[in-house]
Copies of this chain bind each other. A is one copy, B any other.
Amino acid sequence: MDTEENGHFIAESVLVDFCVSVLEKIGVPRGDAIIASKNLVEADMRGVYSHGVVRFPIYVKRILDGGTNPKATPFIERQTRTTAVFNGDNGLGHLVGVKAMQLAIDKAQEGDCAFVAVNNSNHFGTAAYYAEMAARQNMIGFSFTIGAINHMAPWGGAEAVLGNNPFAIAFPTREAFPVVLDMACSVAARGKIIVAAKEGKPIPDDWATGPDGLPTTDAVEALKGFVIPVGGPKGYALTMAVGMLSTMLSGAAFGHDVGELYEKTTTAQNGGHLFGVLPVASFDDLDTYLDRMQKGMADLRNAKKATGVDRIYMPGEREYLSLLAARERGIPIGPMLTKDLQALAEEYQVNFELIN
């Protein structure tokens, strides 16, 4: 990932406005463009560059090519008081996801748990963003999605019928950030294998298989093969479960039906997600729960450190610290990405002013 090492910085507001302006010029209503752009840029703020504006060009291309609907009006297909199927109308995943999680939060206002299954959506960025929306309302938030590209074989297989299928679970805390698990199901991101292949370096033997489905340390062979899930057969089961949660209740695409984010840009992906919320106060007094969380976090943070380690972080803490740093000095943005976004800025005649 090309990031701060040899790049520039850009202010959050400038980057959000840039995305909003480009999206508006290609037909996305301003209000929707703001929701999607804030979501997208927060990934960069949190240091999750792989899911930030590095994806913006493909989102734009998909709208231009007809694969994503800029004027989507997502709607409830079916609902009970605590469940819903939400149709994204093939809109930007970042917009659909926010609306669907908000629906789950709204359904929980009387103290119920609530789950919303989504179809007809698109790549939605980081799973954590939605789970954290719930945590800020003092609810435990769940966010599951099917990946936008198949890169993984079932355990024992040699054919890509599974995505990387990320998910997130966020817990309200008394701190400035929620504790949040956000993980994809492969040992290593495919991007790392691409880098190794370019540099002619071997990869660890648990990252990927070759096209024959057997583990390989040859990065070039690995790119013809499949990423390996965390924990082997455990990760296969986890990937499958996250994928099924994200699609089977709503009819979103699974298995062979999953599209290709970067290749098939003219057709809808029918992406799927599942969002859920558990309002803390329905289980116990909020303060009691928050006391428990502080004690639990202290047990983890104050554990004896491994040799050479100074500090134990809570999941989500590094990302929060990255966000604070980005507010202070701007968002780091590498030279290749800067060039790509500058080209878009020029094409659409919108501002893209760097800090340095």
Contact = CB atoms under 8 A, between A and B. Distances in A.
A187 interface: yes
Interface string A230-262: 110111111011011101111100111000000
B161 A299 contact: yes
Count class of interface residues, chain A = 35 or more
Contacts of A312: 154-157
Contacts of A313: 155-156
Contact of A241 (B117, B235, B315): B315
Contacts of A181: 237-238, 240-241
Given A111-B80, A250-B283, A311-B156, A213 B300 contact: no
Nearest to A225: B306
B157 A254 contact: no
A230 B85 CA distance: 33
Given A113-B83, A114-B113, A278-B83, A305 B213 contact: yes
Contacts of A154: 300-301, 303, 312
Contact of A303 (B85, B112, B158, B303): B158
A248 to B, nearest CB: 5
Given A78-B283, A83-B278, A293-B244, A306 B214 contact: yes
B112 A81 contact: yes
A115 B117 contact: no
Interface in A27-81: 78, 80-81
Interface of A: 78, 80-85, 111-115, 117, 140, 153-159, 161-162, 169, 171, 179, 181-183, 187, 206, 209, 212-214, 230-231, 233-238, 240-241, 243-245, 247-251, 254-256, 276, 278-280, 282-284, 288-289, 292-293, 295-296, 299-301, 303-309, 311-315
8 contacts: A153-B304, A171-B248, A179-B244, A206-B206, A230-B230, A236-B315, A250-B284, A255-B296
